Structure 1
Amino acid sequence: MTDLRLARQSWRRLEPVHGMIYFVPEATERYAALGLDFHTGYFASRGAALGPASAELVIATFYNFCPTLVRQALPGAWKIVTPEKMIEARLDAADAALRRAGIHEIESLAETTALARRAAEKACEHLQGRPLFAAHAALPWPSEPLLQLWHAQTLLREFRGDGHVAMLLSEEVGPLDALVLHAATGSVPTVFLKASRAWPEEEWAAAEERLRERGLLAGDELTERGRELRQRIEDRTDELALPAYAALSDDELARLAELARVFGRAVVDAGLLAIAS
């Protein structure tokens, strides 16, 4: 049976290689060159794999953004740029940013890419119920090893993400409820979650009260019941991501977890995950 702890380590340590695309100026600059502002560029670039996606489709698959924010971006973005252009711009931005971090010069790039790609390709055997992942899985693999690594981790992220949404729904945790619970852990600044997801303050406050009534919050902090719920969702999300990592032996998975630390650290040290003020 695939080692759950190693699978989670592999994903978490390598995740900065993908996640940086939402913060780096290389992405913002390329989207702006196509005529899109920051938020429109985000929704159009990540949603481009779905084709000229409607706001409703992105609201459903991205899950936790205020619908009003999404509707300000889509489908209007597709009057300015095609999904194909957005995919191209996103890849170009990823390439430039990762090169700025020196990822292309890390000696173990080929080995890490090979392991991550095997896991990502194994995930592609499990498309059912994972719409955002499936859309990205249909995209062609880039030819450059650096972008192959980025694409592999993109697939693994969306594979896990679709499973996470399924868990939130099964636990009756709505999109705004999920954000409030996340904020209560203290792992991400509340001000960032509020600004990036753009829910009205009164709706945020209503969600807090709703979660207090469920016994999940006490003030602004998680109760024991709230912590248990969060942990149950995270644990089950990890379990649902395991089919991808079943492609690797225990030794290979341990090796990927070891190598991933180097790549994730390089991204962090280069400041690619810095939140713009």
Structure 2
Amino acid sequence: MTDVATPDWQLPAALEPAVVRHAWRVTEPLHGMIYFVPEAHERYAALGLMGRAGYFASRAAALGPVGPAPVVATFFNFSPDLVTRALPAAWERTTPAAVLAARLEAAGAALTRALGDTIRGPEMIEAAELARRAAESSTAHSEGRPLFAAHAALPWPEQPHLILWQAQTVLREFRGDGHVAALVLAGLSGLEALVLHAASGEVPVSFLRRSRGWSEEQWADAVERLRGRGLIEGDEPVLSDSGRAQREWIEAATDRLATPAYTVLGADGCARLAALTRPMSRAVVAAGLLNVDNAVSTSG
């Protein structure tokens, strides 16, 4: 497959993409835990949002009281039927402002549970300052990144651990919008991207299909489409050479598209952010905040 990640007409990346990927990956558990922790599920339920309604409403709330179409487009790989069961019905029970407040409160409670006194320490203050600098600077590159832009426009909390959480949320959506752009350019639908992910062996098919709400028939149809394109092979589908090349290109493009958010930090700042957040992220994992068994059912 032709490598078009860095064509001649494209400016060289201001930072080595691997440096940016490392800073994001090390810090990501501090944001990602919000999709699993009971603190979030309980607060959404108190607003009348059960099951998946809490997830879709909380992540989409920055966009306002939207219906399913913008969420299907920006979240990219969820079954439209699953999204339609949650939105816009969620906004008949509560408001985007109330959901955003509940999400931030849940993030604070969960991080406090995992990190204890660390939330008030100098390392947290420094990490929050670095991540916020990156998040704020990334607003100069908001074109084509709707979910990022909506989150970047939210007001900043005052406490350092909440600033860090919100900054990583903004950076996560910046990277995510770029990843969607790479998938679209590769000619993949959201479901096809999931099938390729499963074929890589990194995540079980059962989890990806169940969590994104696709039927066995829909999944099987996507498998056959990708098999016809020569991207997967075998009875238990695995990536072909072409499939691996495409996956590598997508990841390289995603890394490249994420670099503008971190340019303000430079390589040293990225390394420092990772060094500060590594023990925090490990504590989050050790406390069980990323336990996938705590993910809500798609039946909600």
- Same-fold call, TM cutoff 0.5: yes
Partner residue of 1:31? 44
Which of 128-137 and 254-263 deviates more?
Answer: 254-263
1:110-125 correspondence runs (5 A): 110-125=125-140
Q: Does 1:164 align with 2:190?
A: no
Q: Does 1:238 align with 2:255?
A: yes
- Between the aligned partners of 2:199 and 2:275, the Cα distance in structure 1 is 31
The percentage of counterpart residues that share the same residue type is: 58
How many residues are paired up?
Answer: 277
Q: Does 1:51 align with 2:68?
A: no
Query: What TM-score results when the alignment is normalised by the length of structure 1?
Result: 0.97
Which of residues 257, 262, 272 is equivalent to 1:255? Answer: 272
SS in 1 for 2:265: coil
**What is the root-mean-square deviation of aligned Cα atoms in Å?**
1.1
Q: Does 1:208 align with 2:261?
A: no
Which of residues 277, 282, 291 is equivalent to 1:265? Answer: 282
Counterpart AA for 1:168 = L
SS in 1 for 2:261: helix
Partner residue of 1:42? 55
1:157-210: CA deviation from partner (whole Å, max 9, x where unpaired): 000000000111001010100011111122222211111101111010000111
Q: Which structure 2 segments of 5+ residues have no match?
A: 1-13, 295-300
Structure 1 position 107, deviation (Å)? 4.5
Partner residue of 1:188? 203
Partner residue of 1:138? 153
Query: Is this contact kept in 2: 1:31–1:89, CA < 8 A?
Result: yes
- Between the aligned partners of 1:21 and 1:185, the Cα distance in structure 2 is 26
Query: Is this contact kept in 2: 1:7–1:257, CA < 8 A?
Result: no
Structure 1 position 130, deviation (Å)? 0.2
Partner residue of 2:80? 67
- Between the aligned partners of 1:273 and 1:73, the Cα distance in structure 2 is 23
Moved beyond 4 Å, runs of 4+:
none
Counterpart AA for 1:178 = A
Query: What TM-score results when the alignment is normalised by the length of structure 2?
Result: 0.90
Q: Which structure 1 segments of 5+ residues have no match?
A: none
- Between the aligned partners of 2:268 and 2:49, the Cα distance in structure 1 is 45
